[in-house]
Structures are given as C-alpha cells and as structure tokens.
Amino acid sequence: MVNETPKNLTLLVKVSLLLTLTVIVLGAYTRLSDAGLGCPDWPGCYGSMIVPSDSSSLSKAAQLYPGSAIESDKAWLEMIHRYFAGTLGIVIFCITVWCMKIKTISPKLPLAILFVVVFQAALGMWTVTLKLMPLVVMAHLLGGFTLFSLLAILFCKLKGLQQHIDPLYVDPSVRFWAIASLSIVILQIFLGGWTSSNYAALMCTSLPICEGDWMAYLDFSKAFDLLQSGHDNYEFGVLEYPARMTIHVSHRIGAIATTCVVLVLVWKLAQQPCNIQNSLAKRVGTLLLLQVSLGIGNVVLQLPISIAVLHNLVAALLLVCVVTTNFLLWHRQDYQTQITNNVVPISDAALHKSRHADYAEGVEYDK
C-alpha cells in the first residue's frame, strides 16, 4: 500500500531505535562494570539528580545513606544510563501520541511500546531497591530487547517494508524455521541474561562446554530458582559454584542449539528467489557468526568488558533481525488475505500484484 506516514515520524522512530540500542549498551556496560548499585536510590543519586561532587552535596549524601560509600565513577555510569533511558521514554511518548493522532496504523503497537517503557522504568527502580535481584535484572534486560524489537516492527509498518516480500508464495518451511529461530534466540537471550545476572560468566574456562567432570556438578534446581529469596543483597551473586556452573553450561549448550537452528533459517532464506529474503539471510548469518565469535572471545580472553558489551549489542541486533524476518514473512500472508477478501483497495491490490514478478527478479523500489 502507499505509505502516507509523515517522514518526520519515521525519522523519530529511527531516533528511538538508536536511543534504545544506546541504552542497551549503556545498561550492559553498567552491569558488567559492577555499577548497578552505583546509586543507592532511584531515580536520583544520593538524593540528587546529579552525582554528588561538592562538599555540601557529599555531606548530605553521607547523612542520607551512611552505610554507602560514594564511588563517583560507578555513580556516573548509572546516572548516564538513566539520563538516556529517560530521554528514550520521552521520545516514545511523543511517538505514541503522534501515531494515535494520524491513525495510519493501529494504536495497539504504539501503546504496547509505551507500556513496555513504563514497565522498564519500574524494573529499573526494582533493580536498585531489590539490590540486583537476578530475576529483576534479567527481566530488565529482556524488557530492553523487547522494546527494541517492537520499535523495529513499528518502523517496518511505517515504511511498508513488508511489501518487499513475494506476496504470492513464501515457502512454509521458511516460516517454520523463522518461528523456531525466534523462539530459540529468545530462550538463549534469557539464558545469557540469567548467566550475567548470577555472575556466572566465568564459571567455565574451557571449550566447548566446560572443564573437568562438569556433569557431576550439575544442579538445575538451584540454578533456575528464579526467586532466590532470603538475601538482602545480590551483588556479585549468591549461588554456589555448582548452580552457577549449571547456568553457564546451559548457556553454552543453548548457544550450540541456537547456532544450528538459525543456520537452517539462513540456508532456507538463501534458497528463496526473492532478493529481500536473500538479504535477510546474509544479515542473520553475519550477525550469528559475529555473535558466536564474541562468545568464544569471552571465554578465551576471560570476559573483557569490551567484548562482553559487544556480545550484548550483537544479541540485540540478532534478535531484531530475526523478529523483522518473522514480521516480513508472516505479515505478508495477512496482506495477501486482505487482497483476496477485497479489504485492500483495488488500486493497491493491482500495484501489489504487478510487483510480484519484479520482486521475483530482484527489482527494488525506493521508499
């Protein structure tokens, strides 16, 4: 269909995608730098919206939080993360209002995005008040990835990118492997977040799984006790070695399974006659290869912060790439059904059909 979305709105969604990615990277860097409790309160820091630095503010902070030593570097990391997150929240609020005003798309998606942002703010608060409880930290990570994915879908809708997929035929097996890939990537991100939030990233230092008789130490009941109640502070982890090792091993095995499933999707996409699907295959395959390399680098180099942060970044990009692949493959089928049922205007349907042969031959259209 003809895209009548204001260009400035699409640009604002692009900005929100960049901001979300920045917040994800800053969050990962803050977490990996052990700065998650750099500020003992929320949303400010020691009772102020900036990190205390002069003598009077330091004295006030000491009175408010007598048992907390002020580490300016960690506090600034945490506050910079919050500044960017707050800016992102304002941008998304504007996007939601704009989308509801122009009524180009259903308000459900923008409202869902706004809800995720609000819930993310609550999770950010609980991360501090519950002292880095692993379940909350992991949920905060997944919330950021969810927000990034939903914004990517919104961008696809606004740009009408789903029209680039061959409307008359998409191999059902491609859709199957796209769904399978999305499911296993989400599971693997959960395992990665659980590994990080439980400080289990360095529990195994050998490849491909773990060193020694690791199977003898597996303890799944404690490893995946989501609540881990009875602790006042979860910084640096509360689980014993067997449980942490089990989490790490699960993430390693998940990585192997994820690689296999996503590789099948890449192969299936590469076999399709449509250039857009071929392009998706290249993007997913490249991100998968990069992510596996970074994962191996984390093990071999003992988790340097730069590689660990990149591992989080590429995980977000891989997820969004798989999400948009699913959206383009499945949303296309819905659009073809609308044409069949005469829901789409005849002029749009004619344009849609005329492009079929062109797309099969790899002809591109400017948006």
Q: How far apart are CA 151 and CA 159, in angstroms?
A: 12
275, part of any domain? yes
Is residue 177 a contact partner of residue 265, using CB atoms and an 8 Å limit?
yes
Q: Output the pLDDT for position 276.
A: 84
Is residue 110 a contact partner of residue 100, using CB atoms and an 8 Å limit?
yes
Q: Output the pLDDT for position 363.
A: 46
pLDDT digits (tens, 9 = 90+) for 172-190: 899 999 999 999 999 999 9
Q: Output the pLDDT for position 165.
A: 59
Is residue 20 a contact partner of residue 143, using CB atoms and an 8 Å limit?
no
Judge if 125 and 235 occupy the same domain: no
Judge if 287 and 244 occupy the same domain: yes
58, part of any domain? no
Q: Give the sign of the dihedral formed by CA 77, CA 78, CA 81, CA 82.
A: negative
What values do phi and psi take at 45, rounded to 5?
-140, 110
- The residues near 40 (Cβ < 8 Å, ≥ 6 apart) are 46, 65, 68, 128
Q: Please tell me which residue in 4, 71, 78, 364 is annotated as part of the active site.
A: 78
Query: For residue 129, what are its two tokens?
Result: 């008040």
Q: Output the pLDDT for position 169.
A: 65
pLDDT digits (tens, 9 = 90+) for 210-243: 999 999 999 999 999 999 988 999 999 999 999 9
Judge if 131 and 189 occupy the same domain: no
Query: For residue 12, what are its two tokens?
Result: 């604002």
Residue in the structure block whose two tokens are 């205390």: 52
Domain range for 181 is: 165-367
Choose the final residue of a domain: 124, 140, 159.
159
Q: What is the pTM of this model?
A: 0.87
Q: How many domains does the chain have?
A: 2
225, part of any domain? yes
Choose the final residue of a domain: 143, 159, 175.
159
Q: Output the pLDDT for position 160.
A: 77
Judge if 191 and 320 occupy the same domain: yes
Q: Output the pLDDT for position 104.
A: 77
Q: Could you check whether the bond before residue 43 is cis, i.e. omega within 30 degrees of 0? A: yes
Q: How far apart are CA 318 and CA 186, in angstroms?
A: 10
Choose the final residue of a domain: 102, 132, 159.
159
Residue in the structure block whose two tokens are 């709105």: 9
Q: How far apart are CA 312 and CA 141, in angstroms?
A: 10
Q: How far apart are CA 364 and CA 262, in angstroms?
A: 26
Judge if 151 and 232 occupy the same domain: no
Q: What is the mean pLDDT of each run of 10 residues along the chain (367 residues)?
A: 69 97 97 94 92 88 86 95 97 95 87 98 96 97 98 90 59 93 98 97 94 94 94 95 98 98 97 86 97 97 97 98 93 50 44 46 44
Judge if 306 and 182 occupy the same domain: yes
Q: Output the pLDDT for position 23.
A: 98
Average pLDDT value for the chain: 88
- The residues near 88 (Cβ < 8 Å, ≥ 6 apart) are 16, 19, 20, 23, 117
Residue in the structure block whose two tokens are 């997820």: 319
Q: Output the pLDDT for position 332.
A: 53
Is residue 223 a contact partner of residue 247, using CB atoms and an 8 Å limit?
yes
Q: Is residue 78 annotated as part of the catalytic site, yes or no?
A: yes
Residue in the structure block whose two tokens are 């919206």: 49
